[in-house]
Amino acid sequence: LHTLEGHTKPIYTIAFSPDGRTLASGSDDGTVKLWDAGSGAVLQTLEGHNREVTAMAFSLDGRTLASGSTDSTIKLWDAGSGTVLQTLEGHTKPICAMAFSPDSKQLVSASSDSTVKLWDTGSGMVLHTLEGHTKPIYAMAFSPDSKQLAS
């Protein structure tokens, strides 16, 4: 339907908003772009990471976008205004994957530091650090009832 152009370096991650109207892309150029999925127009360019953006997820209500980077931080953005709500710090290596819980009250992140962190999205605090993997973690998912996490 469209070829979206605007990043200056390769794109590492993309995510659709739950309503399908917005596409987010994260790039080696350190930016996140929000695109109108219908027209292909750039809605906003979000700047704040110091390095490549490697993972993204929208909350289920579509109001919050989480982006993770090789700078080892996660940014929670207001998807409407493009402002940073919080910067989450705690991983020691690049962020590889992330997902919101079905109720959007928690965010889980995986890193090449071989840990999974469960964050409270309201306070920005780490609730749990899960250890046991011996290599980077590139994928994870919550069960629909939020009671189980697979990584």
For residue 109, the model assigns a pLDDT of 96
For residue 139, the model assigns a pLDDT of 92
Tell me the average pLDDT of the chain.
93
For residue 102, the model assigns a pLDDT of 86
Residue burial 16-49, b: 16+ Cβ < 10 Å; e: rest: ebeeeebbbbbbbbbbbbbbebeeeeebbebebb
For residue 43, the model assigns a pLDDT of 96
Q: What digits encode the pLDDT tens for the residues 85-127?
A: 999 999 999 999 999 988 888 999 999 999 999 999 999 999 9
* Mean pLDDT, residues 42-68 taken together: 95
For residue 137, the model assigns a pLDDT of 92
Nearest to 34 by CA among 49, 26, 23, 21: 23
> Dihedral sign, CA of 83, 86, 91, 96?
negative
| Architecture, CATH, for domain 11-150 | 7 Propeller (2.130)
For residue 103, the model assigns a pLDDT of 84
Integer Rg of the chain from CA: 15
For residue 105, the model assigns a pLDDT of 87
For residue 141, the model assigns a pLDDT of 87
Q: What digits encode the pLDDT tens for the residues 1-11?
A: 888 888 899 99
Do residues 59 and 104 make contact, with C-beta atoms less than 8 angstroms apart?
Answer: yes
pLDDT of 65 over the 90 cut: yes
pLDDT of 28 over the 90 cut: yes
**Cα maximum dimension of the chain:** 44
Residue identified by tokens 């590492």 is 12
The beta strands (E) that lie in 2-139 are given as: 11-16, 22-27, 31-36, 42-47, 53-58, 64-69, 73-78, 84-89, 95-100, 106-111, 116-120, 126-130
For residue 131, the model assigns a pLDDT of 93
Residue 23: pLDDT band (50, 70, 90) is very high
